[in-house]
Structure 1
Amino acid sequence: MPTSTFLALNIGVSALETAQQTENVISNNIANASTSGYAVENAVIDESQAFPANNESLPVGQMGQGSQVVQIQRQTNAYLDAQDRSNQGYLAMYQAHQTTLTQLQGIINEPSSSGLQNAVDQFFQSWQTLSTDPTNTAARQSVISQAQSVAQTFETVTSQLEQQQQGLAQTIEGQVNELVGYSAQVATLNQQIAMQTQIGQSPNPLLDQRAEFLNKMAKLANITYSTQSNGAVNVFLGNGANAIPLVGGNGTASEYNQDLNPSITGTNVVWTAYNEPPSSPSETSDYLPSSSGYTGQGSVTSPSNSLLSAINSGAIAGNVQGLDDASRTLASVNDFLNNFSSEVNSQQAEGLTLGGTAGPPLFEVTNDSAGNVVLQAAPDPSTNTPFTTADIAAGGAADGPEGNSNATAMFQLQSAGQSGSGTWQYVRVAGDNAVTAPYSSSGTFDESLASIVSQIGVEAQSVNNSESTASALAQQSSTLRQSVSGVDMNQQAALMVQFQNSYNAAAKFISVFNSMLQTLIQSV
């Protein structure tokens, strides 16, 4: 069968269109080189269907009909994406934890002339000074002043630790709600992506947007996900049998709004979780099964499988660990204050005031609104009268009210052994088992304080080391991921020249073919 005179012209036009479409893709890559979540695209070029059809023939066989762009393809690697998101999550966790520990070290402020240990040391030093001149009014007043300084210093530290607790609780609450908000965005994009996929389109911009939301979610918590045949993804918190579904991949509109209300009492942190009901009856919580304990009607049946309990990486996990540290430090400070006030008051009671009576308590132990220990220095709860310098029990039964035996014994109390133990705990989610850890204090008062400081310092060093390792791994995985998905400007520039030359060649061919046609027409 004869071929059309214009076959070659059609082939030239296809070459022109292919080059133009490819240049459009290159231009889009260059424009989005810095767009967060964007994956570089390339035009997949394929040969057009040969002429004639298989049931027909030409003496010379089938002839090509040019080329065409059959797909705009995102360049991604699922393994590298998942690995990088996991590494970024661990990095975010260590960074958040590191920030909290740095703040905690600043609150404790040791070693420092205004720190806890110095306040305690100055208190006992005032007793040593008093022992050299037990009737000196100024020395007695110094004991009262140093006792008040100890009480004020510890009250300030306790208050700052409580503020840190509240700040971390609010941060965690906001981040969990942020995670849930991203889940809703992914569910919406799933719906749109599934629709586009079903009609044979490549919804690359939607995929880029969803990838960015997954990136943000991975920095908050340890998510895992799987892609369905319709292009939607199922997103889970954690993996395995205990994984909590966050987003379903069926493309239906989903809504899951969890709010966390932290209630802090001393070292006991209780989170109450609840769901807001869907905004319309047609919306469902299909991606959150009943086994999780949450329903779409705003009730909680069993929060033991709650979001917060399942998070073990990401910024949320780092802040939860920081909240643990603040609670643990508060428990240790409370324990120290109980031991310190008890020992000092007992020793004071063994001495004699200038009036010849047993020494009244130098410290009164109370609790603040959060339930933590607060010392009030130099009260007289028995008579409700001001504590005076005459109430300092410097002497004892052996040497009388004006002696120094008890002042010497009080000073020696600083280096005497003392011990205590207990358990600090908190409940992360109402209904969960309490997270508990034993603590103990032993040795001198200075050694007890040093133990508190040392525990924070050792943990801070460990987290710093882990953060350095996580940073290196995150940088490596990010580089590998970018090598596949990132826009290489040099490569795009080379491709731009390549297809510009293709476009020019196709245009030249059409021009030459046009001249041939003009010659043919004139000859005929």
Structure 2
Amino acid sequence: MSMGILGTALSGLTAFQRSLETTSNNIANANTDGYSRQRVELATRPEQFNGAGYMGNGVEVANITRSYDQFITNQVRTSAATFNDVNSFYKLSAQIDNITADNATGLAPALKSFFNAVDDVSNDPTSIAARQVMLTQAESLTQQFNTMNQRFGNLRTQVNTNLASAVDEVNGYAKAIAELNVKIVADIGRSTGKQLPNELLDQRDQLLTKIAEKVDVSYVAQSDGSINVFIGKGQSLVLGNYAAELSLQGDALNADQKQLVLNGQDVSNQISGGSIYGNLRFRDQVLDPAQQQLGLLATGIATEFNNIHRNGYDLSGPPAATGVDFFELGAPSVQVKGPPGNNAGAVASFVPPTSAANLGASYKLEVISTAPDLFTLTNLSDNTAYTPLSATDLSDPAPAVAAANGFNISFSGTLAIGNSFTISPSFNAAANIKLNSAITNPKQIAAASAADLPGDNSNALKLAELETKTSMLGSKASFTQVYGQLVADVGSQTHAASVSRDAQDTLLKQATSAKENISGVNLDEEAANLIKFQNSYQAAAKAVSVANAMFDTLIGAFR
């Protein structure tokens, strides 16, 4: 009987020692990110039969489990992906909103000051001082265009930097998960699947959450304890002990337009969630349209102003000079984008348009026939379509359709029906616009409509009327309205992103709180467990002492 008491007491000592060790481990990891509270599961040892019946045989540690809820953990992961998406989108959008809407950095004040100077020249065309102010304001306006375009370019560089950093992090996390898969499979095999390596599982779950902060992620558990990890619409990132590698590559038509590549495939349009998606979404939905609209405005102002100025006469005579442009656009590079399925490449170049009335910020060119090649060109600003067009219509100088819209385009490779290209002729026009270098003297401003009439201001009046004239977007918008549309579009998207970010922040906090309630370490609870297990250990030790005393009594009876 004494041996039975000793055996059960010793089993209790071992069980409660493990419980104390586990509680101590919980306390030590109370502030460890991703750690799930562990608990010792105790089970009675198989009882033994004797003449008096079945006698208990003590306790054993059945398992050490972690407090874990897969549904809530997945909810945290999903909320983290959504929040980091809208948070990245909002932070970047707020920067471009500050650039366009601010009175100090925006274009509206410079545009107003320039046309005020034009008004002054039209009021007094013989005033050299007024003419000089007009030239100064023109330079200020073009510099503001240049500066805004440069800041847009800086944001594009920031997006590419953010993407590169996030891709490197995801690759590191994926490799770590693959390594953990190997360890977890080995540890589960060592215990024949009865016990789980809790801390390794916590580390793997934490890595999945970190990937979710960069890009939406899902996984499929395997029977051996490993997991296969997928991003986007099922693109495999980790398969067992193999980790694929994400990379960034420049678009075949535009090196600055980075694509997300996985297993040799462009997955930029397949992913969602996380800061990577937020950066891509900002670039495609806010930055590109804003830069296209800014370039469209620069092209429109230069085109319409030059058309009038070129027909006027200056004060440099006699004889008075005419036929001089006021602004220069140079040869800005044209942005061309094509989906991954295109079989052909394309090269486009800028052509100074003859009018700004029907210019669009961007165009979609689609192949509708081959042999011969025929195309449909759609102005995405007003959905005006030109069809069918031949290759000649796209490559010849004005008045060919493409040239009239600010570009010409040629192709390489084999075109196929359904191939499409998005073309933004004025994408970089704001970077190049400047006062015509041929105008070096305020007398060269063509304010008159006839030669050798110094007091004639009729041409200057036409220039001044451009401020309010609806000369763009199908003759429905003025320069100020075109810029106002840019500011409004950016502002509305930024505001919507702000509202969405606040909502997603609340949902993420709620999901994280729910996970902490299940998996987090409560120090008060662990302190109580310490006392409980300590008392249990002391009681088991007392039973050992009783067994020892009974054994001593039994031995003493035979002395």
TM-score norm. by structure 2 comes to 0.78
Match of 1:231 in 2: 225
CA displacement at 1:114 relative to structure 2: 4.4
Moved over 6 A (4+): 264-268
Match of 1:507 in 2: 541
Counterparts of 1:160 and 1:265, CA distance in 2:
23
Deviations 1:204-233 (A, max 9, x none): 221121111111011111111121221111
Match of 2:435 in 1: 378
> Taking structure 1 as reference, are residues 442 and 337 closer, same or farther at Cα in structure 2, changes over 3 Å only?
farther
Counterparts of 2:120 and 2:44, CA distance in 1:
98
2:446 is paired with a residue whose SS is coil
1:202 and 2:196 matched? yes
Aligned partner (choices 397, 400, 404) of residue 453 of structure 2 = 400
Higher strand share: 2
2:450 is paired with a residue whose SS is coil
Counterparts of 2:255 and 2:106, CA distance in 1:
22
Counterparts of 1:183 and 1:370, CA distance in 2:
38
Aligned-CA RMSD value: 2.2
Aligned partner (choices 219, 222, 225) of residue 216 of structure 2 = 222
Match of 1:486 in 2: 520
1:225 is paired with a residue whose SS is strand
* Stretch moving more, 203-212 or 170-179: 170-179
1:401 is paired with a residue whose SS is coil
1:321 and 2:274 matched? no
1:309 is paired with a residue whose SS is coil
1:510 is paired with a residue whose SS is helix
> Taking structure 1 as reference, are residues 16 and 406 closer, same or farther at Cα in structure 2, changes over 3 Å only?
same
Counterparts of 1:210 and 1:96, CA distance in 2:
25
> Taking structure 1 as reference, are residues 347 and 164 closer, same or farther at Cα in structure 2, changes over 3 Å only?
same
Match of 2:45 in 1: 48
Counterparts of 1:370 and 1:402, CA distance in 2:
42
Counterparts of 2:114 and 2:323, CA distance in 1:
17
1:202 is paired with a residue whose SS is coil
Aligned partner (choices 62, 66, 70) of residue 74 of structure 1 = 66
Counterparts of 1:264 and 1:417, CA distance in 2:
38
1:45 is paired with a residue whose SS is strand
Match of 1:434 in 2: none
> Taking structure 1 as reference, are residues 226 and 273 closer, same or farther at Cα in structure 2, changes over 3 Å only?
closer
> Taking structure 1 as reference, are residues 44 and 311 closer, same or farther at Cα in structure 2, changes over 3 Å only?
same
Counterparts of 2:96 and 2:512, CA distance in 1:
31
Deviations 1:470-508 (A, max 9, x none): 111111111111111111112111111111111121122
Q: Which amino acid aligns with 2:18?
A: Q
Deviations 1:276-331 (A, max 9, x none): xxxxxxxxxxxxxxxxxx3xxxxx4xx2xx33322111111101111112111111
Match of 1:426 in 2: none
* Stretch moving more, 84-93 or 353-362: 353-362
Deviations 1:321-348 (A, max 9, x none): 1111211111111111111111111121
Say if 2:30 and 2:520, in contact at 8 Å, map to a contact too: yes
> Taking structure 1 as reference, are residues 265 and 154 closer, same or farther at Cα in structure 2, changes over 3 Å only?
farther
Match of 2:94 in 1: 102
CA displacement at 1:359 relative to structure 2: 5.3
CA displacement at 1:243 relative to structure 2: 1.1
Q: Which amino acid aligns with 1:322?
A: F
Counterparts of 2:333 and 2:165, CA distance in 1:
24
Match of 2:553 in 1: 519
1:147 and 2:115 matched? no
Counterparts of 1:129 and 1:142, CA distance in 2:
9
Say if 1:187 and 1:248, in contact at 8 Å, map to a contact too: yes
CA displacement at 1:398 relative to structure 2: 9.7
Unmatched tracts of structure 1, length 5 or more: 52-56, 275-293, 295-299, 422-440
> Taking structure 1 as reference, are residues 18 and 268 closer, same or farther at Cα in structure 2, changes over 3 Å only?
closer
Say if 1:264 and 1:270, in contact at 8 Å, map to a contact too: no
Deviations 1:44-74 (A, max 9, x none): 11101212xxxxx422211111111121101
Q: Which amino acid aligns with 1:467?
A: R
Match of 2:3 in 1: 6
Q: Which amino acid aligns with 1:140?
A: R
> Taking structure 1 as reference, are residues 417 and 257 closer, same or farther at Cα in structure 2, changes over 3 Å only?
same
Counterparts of 2:257 and 2:18, CA distance in 1:
59
Matches within 5 A, 1:172-191: 172-191=163-182
1:134 and 2:125 matched? yes
* Stretch moving more, 41-50 or 203-212: 203-212
Matches within 5 A, 1:150-165: 150-165=141-156
Match of 2:422 in 1: none
1:338 and 2:334 matched? no
1:254 and 2:242 matched? yes
Match of 2:348 in 1: none
Identity %: 29
Q: Which amino acid aligns with 1:468?
A: D
> Taking structure 1 as reference, are residues 406 and 114 closer, same or farther at Cα in structure 2, changes over 3 Å only?
farther
Match of 1:283 in 2: none
> Taking structure 1 as reference, are residues 469 and 44 closer, same or farther at Cα in structure 2, changes over 3 Å only?
same
Counterparts of 2:443 and 2:452, CA distance in 1:
16
Counterparts of 2:155 and 2:508, CA distance in 1:
28
Q: Which amino acid aligns with 1:515?
A: A
Counterparts of 2:310 and 2:32, CA distance in 1:
72
Number of residue pairs aligned between Structure 1 and Structure 2: 458
Q: Which amino acid aligns with 1:232?
A: S
Say if 2:248 and 2:258, in contact at 8 Å, map to a contact too: no
Q: Which amino acid aligns with 1:37?
A: G
Counterparts of 2:529 and 2:476, CA distance in 1:
71
